[in-house]
Homo-oligomer: A and B are copies of this chain.
Amino acid sequence: MIPEDLTQSQFDTVYNLLSLVIASQLFTAVFLVLVLPRVLPRYRQALVIAAVVCGIAAYHYFRIFDSFKDAFVTDAVGGRGTYTQAEGASFNEGYRYVDWLLTVPLLLVELIAVLALARKVQTSLLWKLVPAATLMILLGYPGEISTSDNVRVLWGVLSTIPFIFILYVLFVELTKSLDRQPAQVRTLISRLRILLLASWLVYPIAYALPLLGISGADAWVLKQGGYSIADIAAKAVYALIIYRIARLKSYADDPAFARIEEGHEPLEEAKVPRKPR
């Protein structure tokens, strides 16, 4: 539920944050499309998915932004005033779930794609991660739109089960498949998983706010801010790390490509520790 009133600063903060998300996602998508030729073809699938994810997020934030603007009327003159709920409009919080339903499984596909693991390992990981991610979002939704605390807790707990399963697959199962990756790439994947965990934790916290009795305008502004920053981290920043991994792996796979791209040999630490086959 949106608060009854917002001050000018509260309104402007949410307005600016939502717009910041649009700019970040939209131009990360543009960036990824432009740098596509800067990685070897085998890593382009990951960048294309990353661009699509950021594009989908930008689209939804255009809608969230408009929905937020229309949900309030103001008596402001010359830039100062109070914002009250508009009649005949509402802020559609459910949009975020539509976005996540599409983007969260794709974020996991993006990660697996950039690793270019053996086909069998890749298929096995995707068959675990994608259904779990879809289930996690679907199970969260009935709780988010409910006004009953009990219903919120029930679906929240159900949604946490696939979340924990995803963490298990990423932090335990995936680790076993990383020994063929260059050292720098392994470091980046560790950072990527921590970024993913840290940003994904914002969502259950925001979900739990009403249960903790935290409400009012400030809490609502904080929640919108949390979602916005988490969405930038989990999609745009995440995509840039995926790009960095794709670059490093391209250099490690093909030193001639690295020379053209950088003007010198790839760095020693980017080289793949090749196992005898």
Contacts and interface: CB of A to CB of B under 8 A. Distances in A.
Contact of A263 (B48, B51, B116): B116
Interface in A8-30: 8-9, 12, 15-16, 19-20, 22-24, 26-27, 30
A33 B36 contact: no
Interface string A19-47: 11011101100110111101011101100
**Residue from the set A9, A34, A94, A145 with the largest chain B CB neighbour count within 10 Å:** A34
A192 to B, nearest CB: 19
B267 A23 contact: no
Contacts of A88: 73-76, 81
A271 to B, nearest CB: 14
Contact of A74 (B26, B73, B90): B90
A16 B56 contact: no
Nearest to A97: B16
Contact of A79 (B24, B41, B71, B74): B71
A126 to B, nearest CB: 13
A59 B23 contact: yes
Interface residues of A, number: 72
A86 to B, nearest CB: 8
A182 to B, nearest CB: 14
A179 interface: no
Contacts of A63: 19
Contacts of A253: 263
A150 B14 CA distance: 26
29 contacts: A1-B80, A2-B78, A2-B79, A3-B78, A15-B92, A16-B92, A16-B98, A19-B98, A27-B52, A27-B56, A30-B52, A31-B49, A31-B52, A34-B48, A34-B52, A35-B48, A38-B41, A38-B44, A40-B260, A41-B260, A42-B260, A42-B261, A71-B79, A75-B87, A76-B90, A79-B92, A81-B88, A119-B267, A253-B263
Given A75-B88, A80-B90, A81-B88, 16 more contacts: A16-B94, A19-B98, A24-B102, A27-B56, A33-B34, A34-B52, A38-B41, A40-B260, A42-B263, A71-B79, A74-B88, A76-B89, A78-B91, A116-B263, A119-B267, A253-B263
